[in-house]
Amino acid sequence: MLNSMIRFKGYVFEHNPKTLKITSKKNIVSQSVLGEKSDVFESGDNSRVVTGEGSISGVDCIYKFLKLFKIKEEKGSGILSLPNTKPFYAFFESLEFSADPTPELISYKFVFREDSSKPLSKITSEVYYNLSADEDLWDVSRKFDTPIEALVSLNPQLKRTDDVEEGSRVRIC
């Protein structure tokens, strides 16, 4: 299901991580004057923090991880889309790598932190994907469970479904 995939700055997690945790806290302040009763009040919300962990497998797992690492190294916030959650702007705060004894398996942990300085109203519902080598619209259709007709209609700049260049930006919704 398309809306259940995790996406950030054009990177799509091919398989959602095995764990995903969203933490949202309020700022609660307690003030007391010497010998007086304490006053407790809210002073706003903290930014959401998203943590998770997963693995990447296959003979090309290191290249897939390096693509994720490259996204993490980019400056600034981007739109983070999570399953069953309205997208929001976030910073890719950290990415941890650990290689298992198997050369075709990499485990990772990540942290995203909400960028509360950007209003949600600026988020568009359009989602794009950058094609990898040897991918075409048919591959994207299968990968995101999106009908090929929908992809063709969303991408009039692409003349043929099977003849697209690596790195082409494809709108998927």
One domain, residues 14 and 69: yes
Structurally, the chain folds into a number of domains equal to 2
Write down the pTM of the prediction. 0.64
One domain, residues 116 and 151: no
Strand-by-strand arrangement of the 78-82 sheet: 11-12, 7-8, 78-82, 85-99, 105-114, 49-57, 19-23
Query: What is the residue range of 165's domain?
Result: 126-173
One domain, residues 118 and 136: no
The CATH number covering residue 145 comes to: 3.10.350.10
Please check whether residue 78 lies inside any domain of the structure: yes
Tens digit of each residue's pLDDT (9 = 90 or more) over 6-33:
888 878 887 778 899 999 888 777 777 7
One domain, residues 131 and 67: no
Q: In the chain, which ranges are E strands? A: 7-8, 11-12, 19-23, 26-31, 39-45, 49-57, 78-82, 85-99, 105-114, 128-130, 169-171
Please check whether residue 33 lies inside any domain of the structure: no
Tens digit of each residue's pLDDT (9 = 90 or more) over 54-100:
998 888 888 888 999 999 999 999 888 888 788 889 999 999 998 86
One domain, residues 163 and 146: yes
Query: By the 8 A CB rule, do 72 and 56 touch?
Result: no
One domain, residues 137 and 76: no
C-alpha span between 8 and 127 (Å, rounded):
10
